[in-house]
Structure 1
Amino acid sequence: MTDVIQATKRDSTGTAATRRLRRDGHVPAVLYGHGEANEHLAIPHAQVKGLLRHHSRMVKLTGDVNETALVSEMQWDALGIEVLHMDLIRVNLKEKIEVTVSVELHGEAIGTREGGILLENVREVEIRCAADSIPESLVLDINDLHLGQNATANQLKLPEGVELITDGETVLAHVEAPRGEGDSGEAQVGSEPEVISKGGAGEDEDA
């Protein structure tokens, strides 16, 4: 999805200027890329909230600039509530770019009915695709995942035209026995995996 947002050029870029900008209901942003000069912009805070609601990665800038851009990065406040700054990259909608997208688990791992715990090791992967075809997320079917088994990036459902950059052998999720109830060493585990479900609780997890 591509959101249309109003962009105003700004001349002042210091700390005091950006604070005034935020008090006036705008988010400072920088547009760069394609060998062109950087543009320092102000985006209405309400429109930034719209981007977050829609999970938009692509934006159409209007107003002082007329560009299509990819939301590259957002800087948040200490509480993770308000966006303090945005980085935007100029793109051609048909050019291929590399982006990070979330992984969405679908189904109920059969291993959880075998007494195991479903653990999510990696929640995002890197892909390459056309700028106008960035998926919101990629689906990983875990229905056939037994106790002691794992699911890798190779098992993701990739839309047409989407290429996986992350190593296909990267373990995204696995099912292991609870501690003290058997050896879970057969499963390949990553660092500090997140517990998703135990026993019969195998609901889908939003990425």
Structure 2
Amino acid sequence: MATAPQLATTAREEKGKGSARRARAAGQVPAVLYGHGTDPKHLLLPNRELAAILRANGVNAVVELDIAGDKQLALTKQVDVHPIRNYIEHVDLLIVKRGEKVNVEVGIVIEGVAASGTLTIQDASVVEVEAEALHIPENIVVDVHNLAAGTNITAADLLLPAGVELVTDGEALIVSIEAAKNAAETAGTDDAADEAAEEAAE
């Protein structure tokens, strides 16, 4: 993303849960903008436009805020979503500068099918990377096509886009390929578990 989507904001004058509920009912999302030694600014963002930006760019979206005519680049550092109703409750925004590098967590996406008779185990869902603010990858793909049982993929094995550096420990396990138990082995394990349970009950 070489350019950032623009988002108009208004200052949030009122504080508290009641004002936050009224803002959300009016289609606005309470937000806090901070960073670079500045005092935090309490803002209101248009919910529909913000949701569209997050859908298109992921949770590490960089936006250009219009704050009373002043333009400011900001990274969506934290997005709080209601666990049941699935609407955006609050957003934390971090001030960034063009060319500045930031540390963010990026999701892992598994593609492909490992060798027959194996199970693909995803041991980590995200890794932390350092990337230029306007070039944060939306996700990092791990291709497991035809990988054999016993294969382990660590953070150091990940193929990162140019300019992106790994922050997570390189030895951290990301994906492992394990041999799948066949039906006979599974049945034998289940039978042993049943016998143990019966003995314990006696």
Specify the structure having the higher radius of gyration (Cα): 2
Within 5 Å, which residues of 2 pair with 1:158-197?
158-179=160-181, 181=185
- Measured against aligned partners, the alpha-carbon deviations of 1:56-100 in whole angstroms (never above 9, x if no partner) come to 410010142421000000111121611100000000121111010
| Corresponding position of 1:70 | 75
Within 5 Å, which residues of 2 pair with 1:148-167?
148-167=150-169
Unaligned runs of 5+ in 1: 183-207
For this pair of structures, how many residues does the alignment match?
Answer: 179
Q: Distance in 1 between matches of 2:135 and 2:85?
A: 28
> Which portions of structure 1, spanning 4 or more consecutive aligned residues, are displaced by more than 3 angstroms?
178-182
CA shift, 1:179, in A, is: 4.7
**Partner-residue secondary structure (3-state), 1:20:** helix
**Distance 1:46-1:96 versus aligned 2 partners, 3 A rule:** same
Give the counterpart of 1:136 among 138, 151, 156. 138
Unaligned runs of 5+ in 2: 187-202
Structure ranking higher on relative contact order (CA contacts 8 Å, 6+ apart): 1
**Partner-residue secondary structure (3-state), 2:73:** strand
Alignment TM-score, normalising by the size of structure 2: 0.83
CA RMSD of superposed structures (Å): 1.7
Within 5 Å, which residues of 2 pair with 1:1-207?
1=1, 2-56=4-58, 57-64=61-68, 65-79=70-84, 81-110=86-115, 113=116, 115-179=117-181, 181=185
Question: Does structure 2 retain, via aligned residues, the 8 Å contact 1:7–1:61?
Answer: yes
Name the structure with the higher helix share: 2
Q: Which moved more, 1:76-85 or 1:115-124?
A: 76-85
Alignment TM-score, normalising by the size of structure 1: 0.81
